[in-house]
Structure 1
Amino acid sequence: MIQQKNVLKLTKSLGDFHYFPKPTNFNLTNTNMNLLSMGFILYTQFGVLSSAFFGVIGKSSCEEESIKLDIKRICGLFFPAYLPQYFNDYPYYQLYVFIQSLNAAMLISSGILVIAFTCGVVELLTCHIANLKRLLSECFDVENEEERKNRLKLCVKYHVHIIKMAEKMNSTLGNATFANATFTGIILAIVFFQFTREPSVKTFIHGFGWLLALFVISYCGQRLINESEGISNCMYFTDWYTADVEAQKYLILIIARSNHYLYLDAKGFGHVCLETFTNALKAAYSFLTLLLNSADDY
């Protein structure tokens, strides 16, 4: 889903300050995003370990219930599994629990890392937009008309550079963002369905993790939209009327481009924003209702 060469080009363009000044809070934002990634990974590992732990703890009660219901099922697993052969002896049972937990950790961690990387790219792009707005507000701090024109030319080029980075971001991460927005709703519905049937701490930890990841990426997408929409407002509150006609033409170019806000594209799912979060919850609720009705029929 993610093309490695395009990812390298995207990260390189985000950190390239050869032609344009470095945003004042770039390093702080980059550090915060690294901490966010570490937090996601730690939460994922904690969730896997706690799920395995609570599965082993609840194995005895699960086995007692299986005896009462006269059914054969393997208890204490990370998640329910239906296998062609029943086994509960050492070392086959322990080996299967280990493999299942390891696969869960790898799959969930890879998905969470993609979400964390996407959030980092969006936040760094938001930093560049804030830096552009700062440069625009400083264009009219000088009295020299030629210096004003040079600063405005730089802002026009910088704005084009930001737009190209946004397009590169969507072409590189769009499919992964679509998959995340789509499957997160399905995963939440399945997790909540399992929680309604067998309430447990491990199910709650799993569902809360996916819910938090979806909210974070939706919030970052909303910040990108809000920041890009503020470019034209930023120019409006400058002393643009003191510039000559030629300098004002550069402002028109920026205003024309800023009429179309920048966004994180989720392909067929739309633009990622807080509305995406609510839409995913609605989809999860609809799918959960379908699962509950289907379970009641049987």
Structure 2
Amino acid sequence: MLALLDRLEDPKRPLLGPNVKALKFWGLLLPKNLALKYFYLLMHVLVTIFTATEYVDVWFVKNDLNLLLNNLKITMLATMSVIKVTTFLTWQKHWQGIIDYVTRADLAQRVTTDETKNDLLAKYTSYCRKITYSYWSLMYTTVVIVMFQPVFKYFLSSSYRENVKMGTESYLQVVSSWLPFNKNTIPGHLAASAIQSYAAIYGGGWITSFDSNAMVIMVFFRTELELLKIDCANIFGSNDAQVSDGVAFKRLVECYKRHVELVKYSKLFDSCLSPIMLLYMFVCSVMLCVTAYQITSETSAMQRFLTTEYLVFGVAQLFIYCWHSNDVLYASLQLSQGPYESTWWMRHVSHRKNLFLLTGQFGKTIVFSAGPFTKLTVATFISILKGAYSYYTLLSKSQIKD
């Protein structure tokens, strides 16, 4: 396993190595080779068409609430995957620019001899690996559960097995979708399971590569803000080792330029991510509501466990985004303390004026959003959970009345 993880590393991209390789493997970063490029585009089109068939299937299961809810929670997640890939391909140049900036800025900081900065870089690089591999593991655990759920139910539920044999109940599908053949025969069910499993695996690859890349970029912005704060505190050197006016001015200008570039690419990143996060919030609210309802209404312990794992994945998806965006916000708010931690009082008034201009630049807060309506923070995450619980309560009461 360690050897496999080592192969994912890239010396040219010490922070984003595994994430960029995942983006290339799943075809989000299209290769220059035309044949391979069109192959990936074909795969994207096929999965998009499959997602459309999930919406078609809604019409056939609309009279069965359990099948309808199961369809909705999978279909909405698949829709998010398609939108992520579509926007990533549409804004390919923007995403490539962001990735190149992150790599360039990260490499520039890794040449430092400052132990504090090196420790910070090592800490966050290790954290990025943990969050990436943990998220991949959670996602593919969910994919495996979705794929083998029909098998688990067939062998663990005797009543379901007898009903299927008698023809009073249909085979449980991997993913609820419409297909142009009878899925209730053994050959039809096996063929449908193969197609649906392919879509689940490929969709899972889309989600893991896109989300983990976005999360690591958020961690980079937080790290860069903290490193910039350290550099601002050292603009004039220390009390015992003051630097010359020329060196101090050069450091001040460098800090200013770094923050201008940081703000520029954070806005570009937010413009690419914000529309997706707005839809994400709506999708997660519905998905969490539906999954919570299924857990309470399900009688099988195994089915409850499988559905609970899906709920954990849904909560984790949104929470990780909100948590890291929240970290970036607070790191940005604390950045202005950096210049005041320097020995500014020992310098000429002209340096103090320049420092005042620098703190004015730092007043541009970096925060990510979900459309034009809300900021992506932990408070927003809690509000979404409250909304999902409200929808769940409403759905539960409506079923009791029925």
TM-score clears 0.5: yes
Q: What is the rounded CA distance, in whole Å, between the counterparts of 1:210 and 1:94 in structure 2?
A: 28
**Amino acid in the other structure paired with 2:268:** K
Q: What is the rounded CA distance, in whole Å, between the counterparts of 1:156 and 1:256 in structure 2?
A: 10
Higher relative contact order (CA 8 A, sep 6+): 1
Secondary structure at 2:201's aligned position in 1?
Answer: helix
Change (3 A) 1:129 1:211: same
Equivalent residues, number: 296
Range 104-113 or range 230-239, more displaced: 104-113
Change (3 A) 1:28 1:278: same
Q: What residue in structure 2 maps to residue 52 of structure 1? A: 147
Change (3 A) 1:154 1:71: same
Q: CA deviation at 1:129?
A: 0.9
Gaps of 5+ in 1: none
Superposed, 1:52-71 pairs within 5 Å as 52-59=147-154, 60-63=157-160
Whether the aligned pair in 2 keeps the contact of 1:231 and 1:258 (CA below 8 Å) is: yes
Gaps of 5+ in 2: 1-86, 111-116
**Residue-by-residue CA offset, 1:195-239 (whole Å, 9 max, x unaligned):** 122152211111101111222111111110111111112222322
**Amino acid in the other structure paired with 1:9:** G
Does 1:229 pair with 2:333? yes
Change (3 A) 1:218 1:252: same
Whether the aligned pair in 2 keeps the contact of 1:122 and 1:264 (CA below 8 Å) is: no
Q: What is the rounded CA distance, in whole Å, between the counterparts of 2:326 and 2:364 in structure 1?
A: 15
Change (3 A) 1:143 1:117: closer
Secondary structure at 1:268's aligned position in 2?
Answer: coil
Q: What residue in structure 2 maps to residue 7 of structure 1? A: 95
Q: What residue in structure 2 maps to residue 200 of structure 1? A: 304
Q: TM-score, normalised by structure 1?
A: 0.87
Q: What residue in structure 1 maps to residue 201 of structure 2? A: 105
Superposed, 1:40-189 pairs within 5 Å as 40-59=135-154, 60-63=157-160, 72-78=168-174, 87-141=183-237, 142-189=242-289
Whether the aligned pair in 2 keeps the contact of 1:190 and 1:288 (CA below 8 Å) is: yes
Range 269-278 or range 70-79, more displaced: 70-79
**Residue-by-residue CA offset, 1:22-65 (whole Å, 9 max, x unaligned):** 46444663454344333322322222223333432222435268
Q: CA deviation at 1:108?
A: 4.0
Secondary structure at 2:184's aligned position in 1?
Answer: coil
**Amino acid in the other structure paired with 1:218:** C
Change (3 A) 1:273 1:18: closer
Whether the aligned pair in 1 keeps the contact of 2:182 and 2:188 (CA below 8 Å) is: no
**Amino acid in the other structure paired with 1:156:** Y
Whether the aligned pair in 1 keeps the contact of 2:143 and 2:204 (CA below 8 Å) is: no
**Amino acid in the other structure paired with 1:94:** L
Q: CA deviation at 1:81?
A: 6.8
Q: TM-score, normalised by structure 2?
A: 0.66
Whether the aligned pair in 2 keeps the contact of 1:130 and 1:227 (CA below 8 Å) is: yes
Q: What is the rounded CA distance, in whole Å, between the counterparts of 2:352 and 2:197 in structure 1?
A: 62
Q: What is the rounded CA distance, in whole Å, between the counterparts of 1:90 and 1:192 in structure 2?
A: 32
- Percent identity over the alignment is 19
Superposed, 1:213-292 pairs within 5 Å as 213-292=317-396
Q: What is the rounded CA distance, in whole Å, between the counterparts of 2:232 and 2:130 in structure 1?
A: 31
Q: What is the rounded CA distance, in whole Å, between the counterparts of 1:6 and 1:242 in structure 2?
A: 43
Q: What is the rounded CA distance, in whole Å, between the counterparts of 1:252 and 1:136 in structure 2?
A: 12
Change (3 A) 1:251 1:296: same
**Amino acid in the other structure paired with 2:124:** T
